[in-house]
C-alpha cells in the first residue's frame, strides 16, 4: 500500500510504496538536498559574491585567499587519484569526477568566492535553507555550475541530430562535494559574514550619532 508524503501538510500520495515522499518532494530531495529546498540561482547569489569580492579587495594582502585556493588545488589533486582508482567507494569516485570537472573549467578563485558567498547568504538568510543537507547541496550545485562540463551531447536517432543533455549530479556525490566545500570554506565564509554584519552595525551607529547630535543642537 502506498502511504502519504511525509512532508508536513503535503497530503499527496507517496510516489511509490517504497517512497516516503510524493513525486515533487522526492525530486526536490534528490536534486536540491531536501524535500523543501529550492534552488539558489546564480542571480540570487550575485550580491553576496560581490560583497565577498569587495572584502577580498579590502584585504588584498591577507594570505588567507592563497591558503584557501591552495586547499582547493589539493582537493583537485586528491580527486585525480580517487577518480582513477578502480577499487574503492563508488560515491567517492563520482564526487571526485565532479571535482575534476569543476577544476578543469573554473579557477580556484572563482570556486572560493562562490563558496564564501554561499556562507554569507546562509548567515544572513538562514531560513533560505531547509536543512544543513539542503544548504550543502546548494553549495555544491553553485560551485558545480562554474563548470560547463555537465552537459554533453547525445545523438537522437529519431531526428538525426545532436541533442544537448544535462547531466545531473548524483545526490551522494553532491552531498560529498558539499561537505568537502563546507569543511574547506565554512570558517572563512562565516567570518566574512560577521564582518559584513559589523560594518552594517557601525553604519547604524554612525547614523544614530548624527540623529542624536542634530536633536541636541541648541
Q: Which residues bind Zn ion (CB under 5 A)?
A: 5, 7, 10, 12, 22, 25
Give whichever of 24 and 71 is closer to Zn ion, judged by the CB atom.
Answer: 24
Closest by alpha carbon to 143, among 171, 107, 183?
A: 107
CA gap 31, 25 in Å, rounded: 10
Residues shown for the chain: 218
Closest by alpha carbon to 168, among 12, 36, 31?
A: 31
Give whichever of 6 and 167 is closer to Zn ion, judged by the CB atom.
Answer: 6
Give whichever of 29 and 169 is closer to Zn ion, judged by the CB atom.
Answer: 29
Give whichever of 28 and 94 is closer to Zn ion, judged by the CB atom.
Answer: 28
Task: Determine contact, residues 111/143, Cβ cutoff 8 Å.
Answer: yes
Whole-number minimum distance, CB 152 to Zn ion, in Å? 31
Whole-number minimum distance, CB 23 to Zn ion, in Å? 8
Q: Is the dihedral of CA 166, 172, 173, 177 positive or negative?
A: positive
Task: Determine contact, residues 101/145, Cβ cutoff 8 Å.
Answer: no
Whole-number minimum distance, CB 12 to Zn ion, in Å? 5
Whole-number minimum distance, CB 21 to Zn ion, in Å? 5
Amino acid at each position: 500500500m502506498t502511504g502519504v508524503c511525509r512532508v508536513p501538510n503535503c497530503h499527496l500520495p507517496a510516489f511509490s510504496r517504497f517512497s516516503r515522499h510524493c513525486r515533487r518532494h522526492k525530486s526536490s530531495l534528490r536534486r536540491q538536498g531536501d524535500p523543501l529546498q529550492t534552488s539558489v540561482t546564480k542571480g540570487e547569489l550575485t550580491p553576496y559574491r560581490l560583497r565577498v569580492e569587495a572584502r577580498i579587495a579590502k584585504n588584498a594582502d591577507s594570505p588567507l585567499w592563497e591558503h584557501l585556493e591552495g586547499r582547493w588545488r589539493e582537493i583537485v589533486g586528491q580527486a585525480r587519484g580517487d577518480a582513477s582508482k578502480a577499487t574503492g567507494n563508488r560515491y567517492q569516485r563520482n564526487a571526485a569526477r565532479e571535482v575534476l570537472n569543476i577544476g578543469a573549467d573554473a579557477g580556484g578563485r572563482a570556486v572560493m568566492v562562490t563558496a564564501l558567498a554561499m556562507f554569507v547568504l546562509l548567515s544572513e538568510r538562514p531560513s533560505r535553507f531547509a536543512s544543513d543537507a539542503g544548504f550543502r547541496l546548494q553549495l555544491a550545485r553553485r560551485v558545480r555550475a562554474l563548470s560547463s562540463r555537465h552537459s554533453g551531447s547525445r545523438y537522437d536517432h529519431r531526428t538525426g541530430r545532436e541533442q544537448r543533455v544535462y547531466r545531473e549530479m548524483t545526490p551522494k556525490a553532491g552531498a560529498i562535494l558539499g561537505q568537502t566545500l563546507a569543511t574547506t570554506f565554512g570558517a572563512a565564509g562565516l567570518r566574512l559574514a560577521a564582518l559584513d554584519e559589523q560594518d552594517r552595525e557601525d553604519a547604524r551607529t554612525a547614523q544614530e550619532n548624527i540623529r542624536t547630535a542634530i536633536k541636541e543642537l541648541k
